[in-house]
Structure 1
Amino acid sequence: MQMAVAMASSGCGLGICASSRALERKPLAASLCRSSFGFDPLLRFCIFPRTRLSSTVGTLIPKAISPTVVEDGSYQETDAVPTPKVIIDQDSDPDATVVEITFGDRLGALLDTMNALKNLGLNVVKANVYLDSSGKHNKFAITKATTGRKVEDPELLEAIRLTIINNLLQYHPESSAQLAMGEAFGIEPPPQKLDVDIATRIKVYEDGSERSLLYVESADRPGLLVDLVKIITDINIAVESGEFDTEGLLAKAKFHVSYKGKAIIKPLQQVLANSLRYFLRRPTTEDASF
Structure 2
Amino acid sequence: MALAMASLSLGLHMNSIPIFSSFFVPLSNGVLVKNSFGLGTKRFYVIPKERLLSSVTTFIPRALSSTALEDGSNSDTEIIPTPKVIIDQDSDPDATVVEITFGDRLGALLDTMNALKNLGLNVVKANVYLDSSGKHNKFAITKSDTGRKVEDPELLEAIRLTIINNLIQYHPESSSQLAMGTAFGALPPKQEIDVDIATHISIRDDGPNRSLLYVETADHPGLLVDLVKTITDINVAVESGEFDTEGLLAKAKFHVSYRGKALIKPLQQVLANSLRYYLRRPTTEEASF
Other-structure match for 2:68: 68
1:26 and 2:26 are equivalent in the alignment: no
1:45-84 matches, cutoff 5 A: 59-61=62-64, 65=65, 67-68=67-68, 74-77=70-73, 79-84=78-83
Using structure 1 for the length normalisation, give the TM-score: 0.80
CA contact (8 A) 1:40 1:223 kept: yes
Shift of 1:34: 8.2
Other-structure match for 2:8: none
1:40 and 2:28 are equivalent in the alignment: yes
| Residue identity opposite 1:178 in structure 2 | Q
Q: Residues 230-275 of structure 1, C-alpha deviation per residue, up to 9 Å, x if partnerless? A: 0000000000111100000000000000001110000000000000
Other-structure match for 2:38: none
CA contact (8 A) 1:97 1:143 kept: yes
| Unmatched tracts of structure 2, length 5 or more | 1-11, 31-45
| Unmatched tracts of structure 1, length 5 or more | 1-20
How far apart in 2 are the matches of 1:66 and 1:147?
Answer: 40
Shift of 1:22: 5.6
Alpha-carbon RMSD across the aligned residues, in angstroms, is 2.6
**What secondary structure, in the 3-state scheme, does the structure 2 residue paired with 1:68 have?**
helix
Q: Which 4+ stretches in 1 moved above 2 angstroms?
A: 21-35, 45-48, 65-69
Report how many residues are paired.
Answer: 251
Residues 235 and 205 from structure 1, CA distance in 2 versus in 1: closer, same or farther, beyond 3 angstroms? same
Other-structure match for 1:5: none
1:99 and 2:104 are equivalent in the alignment: no
How far apart in 1 are the matches of 2:272 and 2:17?
Answer: 36
Residues 25 and 41 from structure 1, CA distance in 2 versus in 1: closer, same or farther, beyond 3 angstroms? farther
Other-structure match for 1:133: 132
Residues 67 and 218 from structure 1, CA distance in 2 versus in 1: closer, same or farther, beyond 3 angstroms? same
Q: Residues 84-125 of structure 1, C-alpha deviation per residue, up to 9 Å, x if partnerless? A: 000011111111111110001111000000000000000013
| Residue identity opposite 2:110 in structure 1 | L
CA contact (8 A) 2:88 2:96 kept: yes
User: Higher RCO, 1 or 2 (CA under 8 Å, sep at least 6)?
Assistant: 1
1:1-290 matches, cutoff 5 A: 23-27=14-18, 31-33=22-24, 39-41=27-29, 43-44=46-47, 59-61=62-64, 65=65, 67-68=67-68, 74-77=70-73, 79-284=78-283
Between the aligned residues of both structures, percent identity stands at: 73
| Residue identity opposite 2:28 in structure 1 | D
Shift of 1:185: 1.2
**What secondary structure, in the 3-state scheme, does the structure 2 residue paired with 1:262 have?**
coil
CA contact (8 A) 1:29 1:120 kept: no
Shift of 1:27: 3.9
